[in-house]
A and B are shown apart, each in its own frame.
Chain A
Amino acid sequence: MSDFGVRTLVFPTDFSECSYHAGRTAAAIAGHFGARLHVLHVDPPVTAPAEPKQLAAAVADLGAGLGIVTATVAGIPARQICAYAGRVSADLIVMGTHGRTGISRAVLGSVSEAVVRSAACPVMTIPAAAPAWVPAPLVEPVLESQCVVCAVHSPDLICEDCRAIIRGEALEHTRSAERPRRVGLLR
């Protein structure tokens, strides 16, 4: 069974609402696994190329503290996305789906479907309706703690007094448990 970890993540964006949505999930996953996030934009043929500041804005939305690489390539989106993922040996592609069906899907095609069909790595598709992936917050250590035995204010789980009592009781117990055995040995 091969190892599956996420070290390099590719997030292709067309600057649409649904890829914005997918970007948040991509950033959360990258953050969770400490993966490098490649934000890729593909300029489709015929259309005017996107302005560089659009990509910069899309990256700025993803939040700080991530290793982000941006790239813009021109060509057929699905093919370029797969080629790029192959070049950076991506472990995962996270992308949004417009969820087109019927005629618009037949005419416009679905980039995500084409990517799924030819990508060498796993692909995660995020529908526009799906809630963004938010990692569970880390549990912060409670600063104001109480002793679990007597509920007195204490930085320790069990306060000093209670610990002494417990220790004393434990000692008493072992002593009483050991005594008859020793007597037995002496006889």
Chain B
Amino acid sequence: MYKRVLVPLDGSEIGESIMPFILQIAGPLDMTVVLVRVLEPPPPMAVEGTRYFVPGDLAELQRDAEDYLAAVAAGLRARGVDVTWETRVGRPDTEILAAARSAGADLIAMSTHGRSGVGRLLFGSVAEQVLRQADVPVFLIRERGAVPAVLRAGAGGRRPRG
């Protein structure tokens, strides 16, 4: 029986499409859910017209991610799911696998953006990288037809801080 399931979230709606699985499979089977959000350090930005660079604000991203994970965790906890969460900084696939190992997860459940063609070549697929390297079973949900938040008109990629 799977005991601990690692659920990587990227803050997008597509990432959250794994939630029905968690609520209806992981919850009833008494799995402990470990939420993880991997932050990629933002690149330094040049200040226009000067020679100065401003380092990316990782602390801000970290706060956002923590707020986000705490909110998701509270939602799951309210439905009786045993849940913990953590944030990590680095490359998504390596950090997800490292998180799975350090949490002792025996299952990774995540959703995939299901990019193909040019999109896949450009952005790669974190889910595929995880699936290839994981030594535990990987449960993948492909969100079909979902429009990534960054592409939706009038909606920012970031969710408001709550």
Contact = CB atoms under 8 A, between A and B. Distances in A.
A183 interface: no
Contacts of A117: 114, 116, 120, 125, 128, 142
B148 interface: no
Interface residues of A, number: 32
A64 B128 CA distance: 34
Interface string B113-145: 010100010000101100111111111111010
B131 A130 contact: no
B72 to A, nearest CB: 13
Contacts of A123: 139-140, 142
B6 to A, nearest CB: 14
Given A112-B131, A113-B131, A135-B1, A4 B20 contact: yes
Contact of A116 (B106, B128, B136): B128
B118 to A, nearest CB: 14
Given A3-B20, A116-B127, A133 B132 contact: no
A82 to B, nearest CB: 11
Contacts, number: 76
18 contacts: A4-B21, A4-B23, A97-B131, A113-B132, A116-B127, A116-B128, A120-B144, A122-B21, A123-B140, A125-B131, A125-B134, A125-B137, A125-B140, A127-B135, A130-B136, A130-B137, A133-B137, A134-B1
Nearest 10 Cβ contacts at the A-B interface: A4-B20, A136-B1, A122-B141, A124-B139, A4-B24, A129-B135, A126-B137, A125-B138, A123-B140, A130-B137
Interface of A: 1-6, 25, 97, 99, 101, 105, 110, 112-113, 116-120, 122-127, 129-131, 133-136
Interface of B: 1-2, 19-21, 23-25, 106, 112, 114, 116, 120, 125, 127-128, 131-142, 144
